[in-house]
């Protein structure tokens, strides 16, 4: 029997999951997403990836500012969904919403819970140089990402993978796993297992100040941050008053004073070993290779980036 579902999500990570549910036998009643935001010089309104996807699929979309009003609660009551699926929605659902009778609220979370509860689980896993991460499907409770888990699947984190690439792989994994989860719920075979709270770690939102490269860190840590923050906000250093974002780099077994350019291959010393810049993007310019950048920007060996 097809289930009636409300979907809540915002970024691209949630798009394959929404598409998978839409293409299944189940019925999406409505899609909730964050309101459009203004950005750029013209301050144009930008809708979320989920809004754009829902429009293409001819699904009804709502973007309430909050769920504190009885209007939103009553609206969901009237829809009578069997299930609410939440994927990186960006809002915490209040207890009075989660307490509605005969509605199960589940979340597709991008970590192997209880590790990396919170807003930036993929970035934190890469920055922490974890060997693996994964997708968890859990029941939503008032405490942040602390609900019992019904399904998990893991994925290895390679040393070279960026946030963007890992996120895409994990969203495809989530799209498969959500259909498995819905089938178990539909057949009353879902088994929710409580998390071990003592093992919980938290993935706080990435702040802009974290994106500046600190050359006094180990090369491996710097590369992990470059990968974790690619493409946005990106890891950057200051070069003669301009920000330069490193898109791709590799670790080199070379020593020197941190922040100093060591050779013509754009190798920069760190507190342990060094990094060789492979791809970068100067503020206001297009992404380019290190070789192309150096042809237009002469940097002397010994230049300090601190």
Does one domain contain both 183 and 237?
Answer: no
Pick from 43-57, 161-175, 262-276: least confident: 43-57
Does one domain contain both 81 and 102?
Answer: yes
- Residue 132 tokens read as 């693996």
Residue 65 confidence (pLDDT)? 85
Pick from 27-41, 130-144, 206-220: least confident: 27-41
Does one domain contain both 196 and 212?
Answer: no
Does one domain contain both 153 and 244?
Answer: no
Looking at the domain assignment, is residue 164 inside a domain?
yes
Does one domain contain both 197 and 76?
Answer: yes
Does one domain contain both 183 and 224?
Answer: no
The sign one gets for the Cα dihedral 38, 205, 207, 260 is negative
Looking at the domain assignment, is residue 301 inside a domain?
no
Looking at the domain assignment, is residue 30 inside a domain?
yes
Does one domain contain both 139 and 263?
Answer: no
Looking at the domain assignment, is residue 302 inside a domain?
no
Looking at the domain assignment, is residue 151 inside a domain?
yes
Pick from 112, 119, 81, 114: nearest CA to 97: 81
Does one domain contain both 51 and 80?
Answer: yes
Q: How much of the chain, in percent, has pLDDT values that exceed 90?
A: 90
Does one domain contain both 152 and 249?
Answer: no
Please report, to the nearest 10 degrees, the dihedral formed by the alpha carbons of residues 65, 68, 70, 75 taken in order: 50
Residue 35 confidence (pLDDT)? 92
DSSP 78-126: HH--SEEEEES-SSPPPHHHHT-TT-EEEEEESSSTTTTEES-HHHHHH
Q: Which residues contact 178 (CB under 8 A, 6 or more apart)?
A: 17, 20, 21, 85, 108, 137
Query: Which range of residues forms the domain containing residue 235?
Result: 208-296
Q: How far is CA 73 from CA 93, 105, 106, 108, 184, in A?
A: 11, 14, 17, 22, 27
Q: Is 301 exposed, middle or buried (0-12, 13-18, 19+ CB in 10 A)?
A: exposed
Please report, to the nearest 10 degrees, the dihedral formed by the alpha carbons of residues 214, 218, 221, 227 taken in order: 70
Does one domain contain both 199 and 212?
Answer: no
Mean pLDDT of 91-98: 94
Mean pLDDT of 195-199: 97
The helices-and-strands tally (H runs, E runs) of the chain is: 8, 16
172, 203, 234 — which closes off a domain?
A: 203
Does one domain contain both 219 and 188?
Answer: no
Looking at the domain assignment, is residue 59 inside a domain?
yes
Does one domain contain both 89 and 190?
Answer: yes
d(CA 103, CA 86): 13
- CATH code: domain of residue 259: 3.10.25.10
Mean pLDDT of 224-250: 96
Looking at the domain assignment, is residue 304 inside a domain?
no
Looking at the domain assignment, is residue 111 inside a domain?
yes
Helix axes 15-23, 49-56, angle to 10 degrees: 20
- CATH code: domain of residue 163: 3.40.50.170
Cis bond leading into 114, ω under 30°?
A: yes
Q: Name the β-bridge partners of 97.
A: none
180, 203, 226 — which closes off a domain?
A: 203
User: pLDDT tens, 95-152?
Assistant: 999 999 999 999 999 999 999 999 999 999 999 999 999 999 999 999 999 999 999 9
User: In the chain, how many domains are there?
Assistant: 2
152, 180, 203 — which closes off a domain?
A: 203
Tell how strand 4-9 and strand 27-32 pair up. Answer: parallel
d(CA 23, CA 19): 6
């Amino acid at each position: 029997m097809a289930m009636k579902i409300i979907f809540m999500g915002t970024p691209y990570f949630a798009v394959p999951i929404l598409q998978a549910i839409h293409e299944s036998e189940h019925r999406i009643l409505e899609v909730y997403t964050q309101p459009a935001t203004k950005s750029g010089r013209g301050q144009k309104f930008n809708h979320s990836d989920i809004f754009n996807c829902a429009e293409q699929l001819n699904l009804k979309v709502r973007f309430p500012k909050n769920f504190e009003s009885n209007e939103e609660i009553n609206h969901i009551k009237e829809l009578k969904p069997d299930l609410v699926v939440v994927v990186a929605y960006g809002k915490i659902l209040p207890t009075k919403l989660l307490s509605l009778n005969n509605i199960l609220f589940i979340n597709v979370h991008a970590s192997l819970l209880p590790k990396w509860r919170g807003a930036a689980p993929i970035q934190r896993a890469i920055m922490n140089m974890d060997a693996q991460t994964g997708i968890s499907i859990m029941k939503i409770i008032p405490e942040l990402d602390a609900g019992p888990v019904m399904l998990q699947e893991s994925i290895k984190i390679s040393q070279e993978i960026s946030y963007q690439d890992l996120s895409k792989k994990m969203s495809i994994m989530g799209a498969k796993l959500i259909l498995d989860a819905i089938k178990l719920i539909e057949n009353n075979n879902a088994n929710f297992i409580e998390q071990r709270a003592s093992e919980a770690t938290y993935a706080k939102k990435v702040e802009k100040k974290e994106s500046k490269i600190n050359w006094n860190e180990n090369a491996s840590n710097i590369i992990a941050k470059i990968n974790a923050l690619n493409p946005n906000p990106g890891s950057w250093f200051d070069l003669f008053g301009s920000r330069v974002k490193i898109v791709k780099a590799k670790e080199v077994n070379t020593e020197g004073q941190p922040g100093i350019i060591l050779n013509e291959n754009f190798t920069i010393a760190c507190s342990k070993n060094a990094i060789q810049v492979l791809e970068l993007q100067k503020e206001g310019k297009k992404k380019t290779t290190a070789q192309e950048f150096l042809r237009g920007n002469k940097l002397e060996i010994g230049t300090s980036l601190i």
